[in-house]
């Protein structure tokens, strides 16, 4: 029998990777670089200067702190992870406002936030479509939403490091993760690229996955494929022609998308592998 999904409270105690400061700050550098390219502020010392920014699913606050350092006029961190929020507020509360709130009921007025970050959160929430609708509600008409999205067809499941775990139906995935001794059930629910395109319907979306893979040095993106093996993978991807990279998209482990409510094109410099428009429903 598949265990009922309920909100993952106190996630920083379940997944200690949320407390890995060095790794979280590396992720933040990639996020800020992608946002800077889209906004046309690449190379500026404060690429988010003057903007109202919110990190939805902030946990211990490292990414929110980096967003504040990038020049945001007001920075919010939102989560239901109370221990994580306490840790975040104790360290960064002087310049980031941390709020305990569910992603389906964000504490912001309509069209009030310039930049939203929703990074590797959707698989953890009970109703990601409802969260996306709420992100759409609070984003300004000319605002920008950064999305880090895990892919169900990525071979190595990122939370438990078990190959093909996310491919399986829930009952088999539960059995697999129990047999591994890593958890008593498999909570996360990933979607394929097709399913993610449906999830972001109502937004205009540009895909930064291939630009970051092809030129990671421009986007602090080395953490997508870490280690010695990762460097080899990045070298191959950097030399691969565009048709080969596109053919790999259905199975890359992570998509990096930038979404807007209205039609808006990336304003940064031309890249060897430019971001491309994602067709949504």
| Mean pLDDT score across all residues of the chain | 90
Query: What's the predicted TM-score (pTM) here?
Result: 0.93
Predicted confidence band of residue 228 (pLDDT cuts 50, 70, 90)? low
* Cβ-Cβ contacts under 8 Å for 80 (sequence gap 6 or more): 7, 8, 9, 100, 101, 102
Instruction: Please tell me the distance from the alpha carbon of residue 86 to that of residue 107, in angstroms, as a whole number.
Output: 18
Neighbours of 92 (CB within 10 A): 22
Question: Between residues 244 and 116, which one has the greater pLDDT?
Answer: 116
pLDDT at 11: 74
pLDDT of 69 above 90: yes
Neighbours of 255 (CB within 10 A): 21
Q: What are 6's two structure tokens?
A: 């309920």
Domain 22-148+190-278 in CATH 3.40.605.10? The answer is: no
pLDDT at 157: 94
CATH 3.40.50.150 location in the chain: 22-148+190-278
pLDDT at 236: 64
pLDDT of 241 above 90: no
Question: Between residues 52 and 250, which one has the greater pLDDT?
Answer: 52
pLDDT of 234 above 90: no
Question: Between residues 54 and 15, which one has the greater pLDDT?
Answer: 54
- Average pLDDT rounded to a whole number, residues 217-237: 65
pLDDT at 213: 85
pLDDT of 156 above 80: yes
pLDDT of 247 above 90: no
Pairing between β-strand 52-56 and β-strand 113-119 as defined by DSSP bridges: parallel
- Average pLDDT rounded to a whole number, residues 109-117: 98
pLDDT at 40: 96
pLDDT at 29: 95
pLDDT at 262: 94
Instruction: Please tell me the distance from the alpha carbon of residue 180 to that of residue 199, in angstroms, as a whole number.
Output: 31
pLDDT at 224: 60
Instruction: Please tell me the distance from the alpha carbon of residue 170 to that of residue 186, in angstroms, as a whole number.
Output: 7
- Tens of pLDDT along 172-188? 999 999 999 998 999 99
């Amino acid at each position: 029998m598949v265990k009922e999904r309920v909100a993952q409270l106190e996630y920083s105690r379940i997944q200690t990777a949320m407390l890995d400061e060095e790794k979280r700050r590396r992720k933040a550098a990639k996020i800020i670089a992608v946002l800077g390219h889209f906004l046309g502020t690449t190379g500026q010392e404060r690429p988010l200067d003057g903007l109202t920014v919110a990190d939805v699913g902030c946990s211990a606050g490292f990414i929110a702190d980096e967003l504040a350092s990038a020049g945001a006029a007001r920075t919010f961190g939102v989560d239901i992870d109370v221990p994580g929020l306490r840790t975040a507020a104790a360290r960064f509360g002087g310049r980031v406002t941390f709020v305990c709130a569910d992603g389906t009921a964000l504490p912001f007025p309509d069209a009030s936030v310039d930049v939203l970050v929703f990074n590797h959160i959707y698989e953890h929430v009970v109703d990601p479509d409802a969260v996306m609708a709420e992100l759409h509600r609070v984003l300004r008409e000319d605002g920008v939403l950064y999305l880090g999205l895990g892919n169900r067809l990525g071979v190595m499941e990122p939370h438990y490091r078990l190959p093909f775990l996310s491919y399986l139906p829930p009952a088999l995935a539960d059995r697999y993760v129990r047999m591994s001794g890593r958890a008593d059930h498999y909570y996360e629910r990933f979607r394929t690229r097709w399913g993610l395109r449906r999830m972001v319907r109502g937004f205009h979306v540009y895909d930064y996955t291939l630009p970051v893979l092809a030129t990671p040095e421009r986007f602090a993106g080395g953490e997508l494929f870490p280690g010695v093996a990762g460097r080899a993978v990045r070298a191959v991807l950097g030399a691969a022609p565009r048709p080969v990279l596109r053919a790999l998209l259905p199975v890359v482990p992570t998509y990096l998308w930038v979404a807007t409510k209205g039609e808006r094109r990336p304003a940064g410099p031309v890249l060897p592998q430019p971001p491309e428009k994602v067709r949504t429903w």
